[in-house]
Structures are given as structure tokens and as C-alpha cells.
Chain A
Amino acid sequence: MTRDGRALVVERLGKRFGDRVAFDDVSFELRYGEVFGFLGPNGAGKTTTVRTLGTLIAPSSGSATVAGIPLSAENGPAIRRRISIMPETPGLYLRLTVIENLRCFARLYELDDGDLRIERALRAVNLLDRVDDSCGSLSKGLRQRVALARALLNEPAILFLDEPTSGLDPLATREVHELIASLREQGVTIFLTTHRLDEAERLCDRVAILNRTLRLIGRPEELREQLFKRALEVRVRVPLADPAATFGGLPSVDGWQRQGPSGYRLAVSDPEVAAPALARALVKADADILSISEAHHTLEEIYLKLIDEDVEARR
């Protein structure tokens, strides 16, 4: 662990394949114990970034420090010893049993207490009862769990999970989410690449949105504030006779618009000041109030707004 508690420091990192830019000018930091979501559409460069940080691919520009070790070809084995990557496909030897797969990797990491680590990893993914099953006989979800156990064997300083729920059914997805949540509780530093926004919103402390370059980084609520004006949503039983008069002059209200037949959305600078004044104004206007709530932008809305901006910019 670095003295300053930073698990990952990435500075202006980039990778090109000939003329094609996989990702460029990417900078961010990740602290130990954090769950960091790395979001982006297909082809945004997420997997290439992970492979670069995992020393499988040499960067074209920039620098990084991974688990306290400067990223370089010479440091590759030392970095790979301290991290784990679970690729999108589990990549298990299907003719071998669960325990045979894990023993092979325990030896590759030269673990003295291999059997103990295997048992711990299997317990973490609830697979102790399937050790002698051939991996070819397991469902997709169970294979993903074996791959996760394999990634935990070396007790990594950073665990990179590349699209861990890709291709899984809802039940298997839920199981993987629960596993990630339990790893988070155990203090494992996780770098999660995904294009499932619900997954990132639910599991991650911070998220970054990549679309070849890093578009945004922060806590989901910070991103909402950064991208969207705060708003109050009002629903009344009957449309207001004169909404402009009702909403005009209210403190902290910057504007309003109709939302559906009897709903309104008010752009506000401070909801805590605006909401009580709004309630009083509605009562004064004889409105039957059904609800007043602060508008909540999902991570999906943030993501789609950014990607739409990129699409517009490229036109």
C-alpha cells in the first residue's frame, strides 16, 4: 500500500493502435477500499484501459502507478502479482474441476498457503460444495463465481472486474452483485468496468464515464449536480388556472415548465427554500396537491446526456 493510501494513480494515460485511439488523456485516482465504477459504451476503451493498467498492453502515452508500483514492462510481473483482473469471459478450463482450476492459479502465484487461500476464496463466493464439479458442467453464473474466486486467490490490492455480469440472467446477476457488495464490505478495492448503470449506481462509491476520453468523474450525486439543475416536481389533481402567477416570484425558483397534464417541473437553486414557499403558493391557489418532490436524475440520465453530447460533437 502506498503511504498516501492511493491504490491507483493514472496520469494522462493513452493507448493507440496505429491510427485508432483506444483511449486518450485519462487521469484519475483510486483510494484503497474504494469501489470505482468505470462506465462507457461499447468500444469506449474500458477493457483496453484495464488491460493497460494490468500490464497486458503497453500504454502509448502517460503514466500510472498501480498498487504503489510504477507502470512499466519491467514491473509487469510485480504489478500482476499484486492485482487481479477478472475478464469479461470467465476463461476456465472446462475439462478441469473447480479445485483443479484454482490449484493451477494458486501455483502460478506461488502461494505457500494455496489450499487455505482456495478455501477462503471459495467460501467468499459460496462454492465450497462444488469443488469437485467439472467447470464445463457449471452454469454461466457459477462459472463467473469460480472466475471471481480465482481472482481473489492472490488477495489483490486492486481487483479489476471487467463487465462481471455481462451475459448473465437476472438471478445470476443478482448473485454477482451480492458478491461484489460483500467484497466491498470486506474492504477490497474494486475497479468495476460496466455499461450497466444500475450496477454502478448501486455498487460504486465513485464513477467515471469514459468515451475514449474521460468525460466525467465523481460520486453519482455530484455528477447529477454538475450536469443537471436541481428541480422540484409538482403533481396536482386539476391543472392550475394560472401557473405563471402561482410560481412567479417564488424564492429560489428560476423557471418552470409543464410536465404531463397536471404536473409541473420547477428549476430551483435551493429546494429547501423553494419547497415550503411552493406549498404555500399552491394552497393559496386552491390547488389539490398530490405530491411535491425533488427531481432525481438517474445515473442513466447523466450517462445518456454525456454520450448524446459526444454524438452531437462528432457530427
Chain B
Amino acid sequence: MSFSWTRVLAIFTKELRDYRRNRFVIVFTMTILPLIFIAAPALQLLTAPAVVATSTLDARVGASLLPLLLIPAIVPSTVAGYSVVGEREQGTLEPILITPISAEELLIGKALAIVIPTLLIAYAIFGIFLAVAALFAHPLIRSAIFAGSHIPVQVLFTPLIAGWSIWVGIAISARSADVRVAQQLSALASLPPVAVVALMGFSVITPSIGLAVGLAAALLAFDALGWRAVAAMFDRERLITAART
């Protein structure tokens, strides 16, 4: 049977409708959580001393941007952690698995429904941050933000980190027996790429173009192959027959 984008779209549409009507997802995961992550960078931006050495200023700007990379890591992780085990717990997984849908179609539909709102939120928050910087930051800080490599790095790593977080979260969800455990593990597992970026931000790892490109390539490869790995872990029989907790 060939891959069907119609079935992917069916899952994608259903998931988005479900999120839209789920207050927890809308209010907490998609609104309050991102606002928490922008508060610290915005404060740092407005209060940091600007008259310092250029390298110090650049490192400070890098560090202040780090919380913004937590948005594509954390926001999708809880939703991805819920995606399979949550459906199983509410009894909606079996009717889906009874249809001709393949594991790949189901997983891609779910991943797309998580990644698109995540990117919209992450870029919107980053846009707000840039607007605050442009309007209120000291000219030296503003120049460090806009002239350096911070914007391309942020734009590039946001989808890559989101992809990691989503595939790891769905994989954990497909193998878990409990929603809360799956969500906690997913949140934890979403952090390694952010940790690497953080180590670069705090100059524990010396940032370089080569390192950034290498990390981006590794994440890209993981994201591209992630769905196949997760599909291989997706065991209909285990999901249907394993005891619910």
C-alpha cells in the first residue's frame, strides 16, 4: 500500500482541532510557557551593561538568547509525549489503528500537527524579542544582536531542536504505559541539544562555524530519519494489548 498524504492530512487536521479546543494546550503549553521563556532574555537585554568588550557583549547576548531555544525544545515535548499513549488511554487509538493507516502516516500526521504550531510560537516569540531589542535596547547591545550570527543561528536551530524534541517525545510516548511518565521523560529527553547550545553560549565549548554546522547536520540527520526509527518502534500489538495503567 502506498503512502497517503490524505491520511496524514486527516490526522494533522484532527490533531490541530483537538489542540485548539484543549485549554491546557492553548493556555499553558502554547501561551504561558513561551512567555516565561521570553521574560528572562528581555530583562537581561534591557538591564545588561553595554559598555564592555565586544567579545564579552557577544557572549552575553548569546547567553540571553538561550532561553528562547528552550521554546522549540520544551513546548512540543509535552504534546509529543502525550501523542500516542494519551490516545491509548482515552481509547481513541484502537479505532485509528483499525483503519488502513500505516504507522508512518500516523506519526508524520502527528509530528506535523506539533511542529507547525511550535515553529509559529517560537518564531513569534523571537520576533517579539527582536522588536523589544530594536525599540528599547542600548545601541551597542542592539548592534550585537542584529549584526552577529545570533539571528541565523536562532532561525536555523529552532526547527532542528523542535524536530529532535518531537521524535524523541513520540518515541517515548509509543513505548510508555503512562501519560505523565511519558511527558516527564519527553521533557527531559528534549534538553540534550539545548545543553550543547548552552555550553557554547557559556563558552564551555568554543563556538565556531564548524561546530554549529556539525551540530545542525547531526540534528538534521536525526530529524530526517527520526520518523523511520519511531515507526519501527511502533508496535500495534503491544499498543493494543499492553495493560493500561
Partner-B contacts on A (CB < 8 A): 17, 48, 51, 54, 56-58, 77-78, 80-81, 84-85, 87, 89-96, 100, 103-105, 107-110, 147, 150
Contacts and interface: CB of A to CB of B under 8 A. Distances in A.
Contacts of A17: 241
B96 A78 contact: no
Contacts, number: 84
B98 A80 contact: yes
Interface stretch (B10-18, B74-82, B206-214): B10-18
Contacts of A77: 1, 100, 102
Nearest to B1: A77
A196 B22 CA distance: 37
Given A77-B100, A93-B18, A109-B100, A56 B13 contact: no
Contacts of A96: 14, 17-18, 21
B245 interface: no
Contacts of B10: 103-105, 107-108
Given A57-B241, A100-B17, A109-B100, A87 B7 contact: no
B14 A93 contact: yes
B95 to A, nearest CB: 4
B92 A105 contact: no
Given A87-B94, A91-B92, A95-B21, A80 B100 contact: yes
A80 B17 CA distance: 26
16 contacts: A17-B241, A56-B240, A57-B236, A77-B100, A78-B1, A81-B100, A91-B95, A93-B14, A93-B17, A100-B14, A100-B17, A107-B6, A108-B11, A108-B99, A109-B99, A110-B6
Contact of A107 (B7, B92, B236, B241): B7
B240 A57 contact: yes
Nearest to A51: B240
A255 B240 CA distance: 53
Interface centre among B13, B18, B95 (most CB of A within 10 A): B95
Task: Output the residue of B21, B93, B96, B98 with the most chain A CB within 10 A.
Answer: B98
Contact of B22 (A80, A95, A147): A95
B92 to A, nearest CB: 5
Given A77-B102, A96-B18, A91 B6 contact: no
B94 A95 contact: no
B19 to A, nearest CB: 9
A87 B93 CA distance: 11
